[in-house]
Every structure is written in structure tokens, then in C-alpha cells.
Chain A
Amino acid sequence: MEIPYTISTRPDTGLWNAKIGIWLFLASEVMLFGGLFSAYVFLRLDAAPGMWPHGLLNVPVGTMNTAILIISSVTVVLAWAALKMRRYRAYWWYMLATILCGIIFLVVKLSYEWPQKFVHFGAYIKPAALEKYEQYLGNHHLTERGLPPRLEITGHLENHEALHDPNVKEYEIAMDPVNADPTNPAMDRPHFFYVPPTDKVAKIEKEDVERIDSFGPWHSTYFASYFTITGLHGLHVLGGVLVFIYMWLPVSKKVYQRNPEHLANRVEVSGLFWHFVDLIWIFVFPLFYLL
């Protein structure tokens, strides 16, 4: 006996096997990312005032990546539709576009967005010393406006040796605009466009610093969830791209020639996965970049 309904549908369910399989798999993926997103909610609600950073990500780049993923979701549907109309060449081009979108997304993430974080530093000031650095923190101004306090001075660390050398007594940080000009009302809200660190260097005594770290996953629970969720999402994008490459290579043309519906089904199933990956990003983007 052969396994039935691999390509054709079962009359009473109206579905072929892999379509049920992928929806179940996606249900499980929803629970996986649901677990991570609920951790985000839990940690954010739990964060002490001033301990959940805002405005540290590059919104236009994130917007661009969002657009790229949405476009790729359209092209993968067009690729599937082309197969349904038995137009293999059109399929080939649409699939190529989808693959390229996925690759661009990953390249932007891995060569631009992530590395930028690891060279950016933040120094949390001890509660007793907050007043001393008021000129960089602007907490009086924030209190007046009813906003959460600023506890951290961020920017580009000029003297990296300070991290290891006990003889160096100060950190020199070329500050982000938010610390360079803390009472400017424009700094009360995160910027849409990325603004690089200024030339204004703050000298912060090591004794006054609670903890200094780059913007890696160790920086805060915010960056911990950012790297974990975008990392896992990136792995999903990579998985999708690899599957699409396999379906785009000549080896899949043989499947098409044997039974075009078989390849169309495969594209449909992996396309569903791709839409899901896209959907996760639709949640990631506002949660980390905007809110």
C-alpha cells in the first residue's frame, strides 16, 4: 500500500497531508514565539523605571526590512500562482526574487544592525551619583514632565582600555544626542531617524558607574529579548531561504516535470511557513523598534 493523499486531496477533509502538517507545525511555532513574546511582556512589565531602553534601534532600516519581507511574501504567492498556471519561467523569477529578499534581510541584519550594537556602550550610573551627572541625564527636566528617569549614559566608548585597566579611573564616552543635550524636549521621545553619537565627550568616574556594557544581549533584558527573538527569527528566515533555494534549483524542475502539482504543493507549504516568518516580524518590529 502506498501512502495516499500526498498530492491529491482526501475527499472528506478536502486537504492533502502536508497542508495539515504545516499548519500544525505553525501552530507549534506560534506557541514557541508566543513563549518568547510573553517573556518580553513579563520582563518589560517587571522592569524598574528607567531600566527598559527606548529608541536604540534604527527605525528606517527596520522599516525597510519590514517592507522587504512583505514584498517577499507577495512574490512567493506569485511564484505559487505561476506554478498553478504552469508557467515555470515566471515561477523561476518570482522564486529568485523571494530568495533575494530573504538574503537582503539577513545581510542587513547581520552586517549592519547587529554589529552596530556591539560597539555602542552604555554606563549605568549608581543612584548616589545621579545628581553629579545631571547635566547629561536631565532627570529634573524629565521629572517635571512626568517621564521615567534616565539612569544610563550611552554613546561611543573612546577609551576601551578603561574596561580592563584598573589604572584608568574614568570612562570617556562620546555621548549620544540624548545625553549630550538631555533637556532638549526633542530628546524626550525616541528619534525616528538614526542619530550618531556626538563629539561631546563625557568623563565618567569608574566609581560612579554601576555597570558598563556594550549593547549586546548582556546589556539589559530588552537587548536580551531583542537578540534572542530576532536571532531565532533570523534562523527561520535562513531556513526558509534554504528551502526556497532547493525548490528553485534544477533538481526541483524534475519534480515539476513529473507532476507540476507536486511542486506547487511544496511551494504552497513552504510559502505558508514564509508568511508565518513574515508575520512574526510584523510583531517584532513594533515591539522592539517602535514601542
Chain B
Amino acid sequence: MDASTSLHAHGEDHHHHEGGHEHEHHELGFWRKYIFSTDHKVIGIQYGLCGLAFLFFGFCLMMLMRWQLAYPGKMPPVIGPIVLSIQHFLEAHKAAAGHFDPWFWLRGLISPFTNGIMTPEGYNSLGAMHGTIMIFLGVVPLAFAAFGNFVVPLQIGAPDMTFPKVNAASFWAFAVGGAIMVSSFFVPGGAAKGGWTSYVPLAALDDRGPGHNIIFNGQSLWLLGFIFLITSSLLGAVNFITTIIQLRAKGLTWMRLPFFVWSQFVTAFLLLLAFPPLEAAIIMQLMDRTAATSFFLPAGMIVNGVPLHISGGGSPLLWQHLFWFLGHPEVYVLILPAFGIVAEILANNSRKPLWGYKSLVFSVLVIGFLSFVVWAHHMWLTGMGSTVSAFFQTTTLLISIPSVIILSAFFISLWGGSIRFNVPMLWVTAFLPMFGIGGLTGIPLAFNSADLYLHDTYYVIAHFHYIVAPGTIFGLFAGVYYWYPKATGRMMSEFWGKVHFWPSLICMNVIFLPMFLQGMLGMHRRWYDGGQGWTLSGEHIWGLTGFQWNTPISWAAWIMGLAQIPFIINFFWSIKHGKKVDDNPWQATTLEWTAPNRPPHGNFVTTPVAYRGPYEYSLPGREKDFTMQNEPVDPSERSRRSAEPALVH
């Protein structure tokens, strides 16, 4: 709200750019313009603010869990006493039997704690929601929906998305899904406890029975919320693909698209085709929980000593297949938009054409295809047999090839460039090795013989967090700093950006690097006592036992939490007080920088036309070191080009 009101206050700055369109949106009131907007930029910013808020919320859950891991069974400071006093208050306000309890929501909220100490169920609940919120409410909305919405139409020279109302519907479906997820913290028993993967039969039987409503319980709300989130991403994906196919500016052929648009294009296909099987699975699990079906429940289930009255005949493995059919493309949904952002910023700040544009495009397409045929590598422990294993090992190793091509192309793009280390570029240069570590440590997990040992240990946690935390999220921060001037007309502070960057980079590595070692000791990812009670956690690595490593990791996590404060302040402060800049502050080449800052509804003053590829930086014989895509090709350039085919994309 803060952001949008101040945008409103400065709404007069750019009206002289808008020409004939001025009359149109003066008619829109505050609610239509900033809340129920159909403008892709406003929707993108809405998604962005929600995504950032959810990222921070999900991180807070993890900061709580890190206390439990470092100091198991001890009361956390601040939160612990507060929870304890709420507990005393609730004990004094018990509702009489059979009467409505007006404090039920508060009881739900503190249910992860007893006497101020985290319970095992509470730990599971926070863990499940950390994963769910980070991935589906934080990174996907930010990486795909926020950046995609804001940047893609501008980069392809379009006035808006093809279906603006569908776009708004997508955001509001997301908002409802997010609200349902958050509300699940307040129901009796607290939020879902089955892990972000919601493996059955546990998840199908959790939060059922006395004291639980059939719908308003953690797991059922998790499922319901997901139906809205999937609807949201479906609407978004349809819109993105259609927009990229139909609304490219004149002259903007496929091979002239910025790489970011390509990455969003492939991401949209992944969301479009991978999410529905999960939706099918979610409908089935919801049926198992509400209509007593047995899709995922085998016969002979006994809960609390009582045999379940169910037909049985269901298959827990069915859930795993359907879940990972989404789950694996989902990791590429998380990383591909970050690749796109990195590509843009890398070319811009190394002042060089992106190396191997064509191989990047084909690699991202191959990744998109292969990501649909690797899912069972998450399921080596199910004993699927060597033929199936061999197939999925092969595809899993194949998909590392295009990923390595992309990363190599990024590194080579740096070669011989005169690199500007501004804040977006700092995040991007950190992204490259961090993603590299994340990717390479995944290779042992692709082999089922190695995975049998590493499966479900902290090694896996470290591997995928290197990809999504210092990988994707660093890419997203880079994108926020990079496109912020287009959205607000002002720069974020360089100094505070660096204060944000350096501690984040150091803490990320202090957090995740030791986890590889913990994992190789065999420490299991779901132990709520941090492995305190397990013999091998007592082995020493670098002077500390596996269990003792939890302490520095946790402190690094909390310091990283503090390191986000400069970002939050910088983000909001700069809206009003940042340095004002012109339309193309980074001297970039792509079309979004030809639009006025804070582009009006309809985006461009004149209809953009593209005459050249997206990354014409530092080409010999040019007056300046960058040529924008909408600059016409003059005859002398054309003859020079035919003499030097290497320059033509």
C-alpha cells in the first residue's frame, strides 16, 4: 500500500509523455488503478510485493526452526515468552464444553509450541509451510508472475498482456490461495505437517479425527489453497504464451527476443503442462480426506490402533509420481526466470553481446522438454527397479548438459568485457558460482546408488538451496535492483544495496556449505532435534561435530535475516527519495528501456519497431557502446554487416 500511494502522489511526473492516452486513465479511481487493476505493470508490482512479503514470511518460519535445531528443547528468545504468555491467557479463557471458543484461532496459531518450546509436530508444520510458502507463494510469484508481468510486455514492445482481465483474475486467484494458506496457521492443530511434498498416506490421514473440522484443518486448507494457486498459474501461463506469440512488436522476430522472454516462455509452458497433474493429485487427496475415498490409501491402514473404515486399494506411489511430475519441472520454473534475469544484466554490465545466444535459446528449450521426463529421480528410494532407474538416470544426466551450456555461456560472456560492478551485477556475478555449486552437487543425487545414501539428508537440502537461495533468489534481487528505475523512475541506493549484498552472500555460504558435510555424515533433514541424539552427528568436521555445526548455521541465518533490513528500507525509501534517472539508466539495448519510466497504461509513446537483435553492445564502428533494438539500420551498417556475418544473430 505504501508503494502504491506514493506512486499515486507522483503520478503527474510523466503525463507529458502520454499524449492521447491521458484522458483514459484519469477516469480510473484509486481502487481500479492500483488494486483491481488490469494493467500488467500494476499486476506485476502487486505480485512482486506479495512475493517479497511471502519470501520474508517463509524465511521467518525457518529462522524459528533454526533455533530449534541449534538449541533443541530450549525456549526461543522473544517468541518463546510471547507464546508462553498467550498460552497462559488461553488456559484462563477455556470455553465450556460444547460452546463456541472465540479464541480458537489463537490456539491454532500457538499450537506449534507447548510451554514456549517447539513440539515435533510444530517443527514439521513450520517446515512444511516454509517449503510451500517459499516455492509457491514466494519465488514463483516473484520470478514468473512479477518479473514476467512487468517486463515481458515491455520487452516485446506490447501495450499489455493479451488478456488483461484474465491477468487480474490470475493475481486474485493467487491472493485467495495465499490467504487460504496463511489462514491454515489459525485452525485447530495448526498448518499442514506433511512436508511440502505432502507424501501420503501420512498427509491424507493427518489433521483428521476429533477436534478437526473436515475442511478447516491444516492439510485440507493446504490442498484447497493449492487449487487456487494452480488456477492462478494456469491463467498466467496461458496469458504469457499468447502474449509472446501474438504481441511481439513489428520486426521483433523470435531470434531477436531478449533471452529473458525466452526463459519466461519456456517457464510458462512448464507451468501450463506440469501443474495440472498435481491438481489432479490434489483433487484426489482432497477426496481421500473429505469423501472417504482411497486413491492413495492401501488396505489395512491402522491409525491410533483403530483400523480405518476405507476401501483401500489405493497407491501411495501414485501420489509421488503425480507430485514429482510437477515437482521436477517446478525446479526449472524456479531457475529459468532467474537465468533470464541474469542474462539481461550480464550482457548489460559486461557491455558485450551475450555469448552464444542461439545455444542459450536451444538449451532452454531442451531443458523445458527434458524436465518432463526426469521426475522419478526424486523417488530412487521407492525401489522402482533397475530398468526404470536407468531411464531416469539417463534423462537426469542429459538435462545437466543444457544447464551446463547455459552456465558456460554466461561465464564466457564475462570474458574480455569491461565489467561494471553495480549492485545488480554484484548479485549476478555471485549467482554464477553459487548456481554452479548447486548444480554440480546435484550430479551425485542423479545416480541412484549414491542417492540411496544421500537421500533425505542435509546434503539434499544444501544442494537445492544452493540452486534456489543463492541461485534464484540472488537472481531475483538482481532483477529488483535492475528494473526498479523502470517501475519507479528512481534508483535504489548503491551503498545500501552493497550492505544488503555482502552479508547475504557470506551468510548464504556459511548456512549451506556445512550442510553438505552434515548430510554426508548422514544427518536426516527432518530431525526436529537437529541430530542431537544420533551417534554419527558426533563425528567431527572442521573442529565441530555435525550437531554443533547447527549453531553457526543458525547464527548465519539470523544475521542474514538482519541483512535483509537494508533492502526493505532501501526498497521503500527509494520510491520517494532515490536518485531520479532517465528512461535508460543502464544504457541497455532492449525495448523496455525505450518506454518512459513508470510507463503509462499502454506503455509506449510511439509503437515500437525492432530492427536488430537484443544485445548489440560495444560493436566495432558504432558511435556509442550500445545500440537499442528500435534504432533503424542505416545502409552503411547493412553493407558492413554483410561483410561480417559473425555479427548477425
Contact = CB atoms under 8 A, between A and B. Distances in A.
Interface string B584-625: 000000000000000000111001000000000000000000
Contact of B294 (A10, A29, A224): A224
B450 interface: no
Interface stretch (B204-212, B310-318, B530-538): B310-318
Classify the interface of chain B: helix, strand, loop or mixed: helix
Interface stretch (B156-164, B431-439, B459-467, B511-519): B156-164
Interface in B291-305: 291-295
B315 A228 contact: no
A48 B294 CA distance: 14
Given A15-B246, A21-B162, A28-B234, A218 B603 contact: no
Contact of B311 (A3, A27, A39, A218): A218
Contacts of B318: 39, 42-43
Contacts of A220: 294, 311, 313
Given A3-B159, A28-B234, A43-B314, A227 B291 contact: yes
Interface residues of B, number: 49
Nearest to A24: B238
B284 A27 contact: no
A226 B490 CA distance: 58
Given A31-B273, A211-B309, A220-B313, A1 B602 contact: yes
B80 interface: no
B272 interface: yes
Contacts of A36: 280, 283-284
A5 interface: yes
B131 interface: no
Nearest to A34: B277
Nearest to A48: B313
A35 B281 CA distance: 7
B293 A224 contact: yes
Classify the interface of chain A: helix, strand, loop or mixed: helix
A13 B295 contact: no
Interface string B233-252: 01001110110011100000
Contacts, number: 147
A25 B238 contact: yes
Contacts of A20: 241-242, 245-246
Nearest to A46: B315
B279 A35 contact: yes
A236 to B, nearest CB: 13
B73 interface: no
B151 interface: no
B276 interface: yes
User: Chain B CB within 10 Å — which of A2, A42, A225, A227 has the most?
Assistant: A42
Given A4-B159, A31-B277, A39-B322, 18 more contacts: A3-B160, A5-B162, A13-B245, A20-B241, A20-B246, A21-B166, A24-B241, A34-B280, A35-B276, A35-B278, A36-B280, A42-B315, A43-B318, A213-B311, A217-B291, A218-B294, A219-B311, A224-B295
17 contacts: A2-B159, A3-B159, A4-B159, A10-B246, A13-B246, A17-B242, A20-B245, A20-B246, A24-B238, A28-B272, A32-B276, A34-B276, A48-B313, A213-B311, A217-B287, A224-B314, A232-B283
Q: Which 5 A-B pairs have the closest CB atoms?
A: A35-B280, A35-B277, A1-B159, A224-B293, A32-B276
